[in-house]
Structure formats: structure tokens, C-alpha cells
Homo-oligomer: A and B are copies of this chain.
Amino acid sequence: MARQTRSTIEGTVNGVDVDRLKSTVEVMRAVPDLAKFTFRATNRWMKGGLNRSSIGGFHGAGAENHRDGFIIDTAQPPLVAGGDEAPNPVEYLLHALVGCLTTTLVYHAAMQGVRIQAVESQVEGQLDLRSFLGLREDLPGGFEGVDVRFRVKADCSEAELAHLMDVARRRSPVANFVVRAVPTSVVCEAM
């Protein structure tokens, strides 16, 4: 009977601490400067197509936020003269896109009291390597287009799901970014 309780959502929904998220919303509504975040990475070349990023603290909510951080590599497959030690940079971009859309969907569903059982997605992007190789200066470079397909199992109607997905597409920071750069389709079906 989730629907009857949606007006008084509290506690944790979809693994999201809704109380905390709502208090964050109220704080940032009152003091907009606290919503200004700066995220960072540093990177070091290892060899050939392999390099390594270190991701640590960030600035947000008016303070520096320390954390131990993460080390992540990127590399190239043999076809692009690499050793395939890690995903390549454009694959990380696709990961960022579906990861961000998923989190935005799950968070906004939680704030509206919609319980989610499963979210799966597939993404692909088309790239003409001639720009990277210097064969064509006139091509846009980067992805020419990006297509995302979601399958979601949630405690809501298909119309509500379509609305949630639309909210996710408009509010997801990475999706926003991708949509501004290239034609992007995002479709969603209920499981």
C-alpha cells in the first residue's frame, strides 16, 4: 500500500535515506551557495594507453569534504594499440551516464515514495575513430549519438514510471551534459 503513504515518506526508501536527502534539499533551498560543488580528479600516465586517476575530496555544502578516495585506471583495447588493462575513456563516459541516470531515477522515486525493485540499463555510443587518428579534422569527434534503454520494476503505473524517467533525464548531471553535446535517446519500459 505504498501509494497511501506517499505523502508522509520518511526513513529509507530504495536504500536512500530520504530524511537526510530532504533535509539537504531544505538546506540548499535556504542557502543556495551550499549547493555549489566542485568535483576533482588527478591523473598520471603509466605507459602507452594506460593511465591512472586518483579521486579524493571534493568541495560541497560550503566545506571541503575529505575522503580516502579511489584509484581507477583507463586503457585501450589492442585494436587501438593498447593492452586492455581497463575500460577505455569513452566507455567510462557511458558508465557515468547510465550510473547517473539510475541514481537520479532511484533518488527521485524514493522522495516520492515509489519503491523500486530493479533497474537495468544498456547504453551504446557511436564513434568514428578517424577524428582521433587525425584522418578527418571536420568530424565532430566524440560520440555521434548515444542510445540508452532502461528496464525498471517499480511500485507505480507505467505513466508514473515514464514521468520518473523524464525527471531523471532532466535532472541527472551527466545526462544533462550528454544531451547538450550529442543527440541522445533514453527509452524506458516497465519490467
Contact = CB atoms under 8 A, between A and B. Distances in A.
B135 A29 contact: yes
A108 B132 CA distance: 9
Question: Which label, helix, strand, loop or mixed, suits the secondary structure of the A interface?
Answer: mixed
Given A49-B106, A99-B74, A131-B171, A43 B90 contact: no
Interface string A144-175: 00000000000000000000000100111111
Contacts of A42: 98, 120-123
A25 B97 contact: no
Interface in A40-98: 40-45, 47-51, 53, 55, 58, 60-61, 65, 67, 70, 72, 74, 76-77, 79-81, 84, 86-98
A182 interface: yes
A11 interface: no
A128 B93 contact: no
Given A43-B98, A53-B98, A87-B70, A25 B135 contact: yes
Given A67-B77, A95-B92, A143 B43 contact: no
A36 B128 contact: yes
A72 B91 CA distance: 11
Contact of A123 (B32, B40, B76, B80): B40
A95 B43 CA distance: 8
Interface of A: 14-17, 20-21, 24-25, 28-29, 32, 35-45, 47-51, 53, 55, 58, 60-61, 65, 67, 70, 72, 74, 76-77, 79-81, 84, 86-100, 102-104, 106-108, 116, 118-135, 137, 140-143, 167, 170-178, 180-182
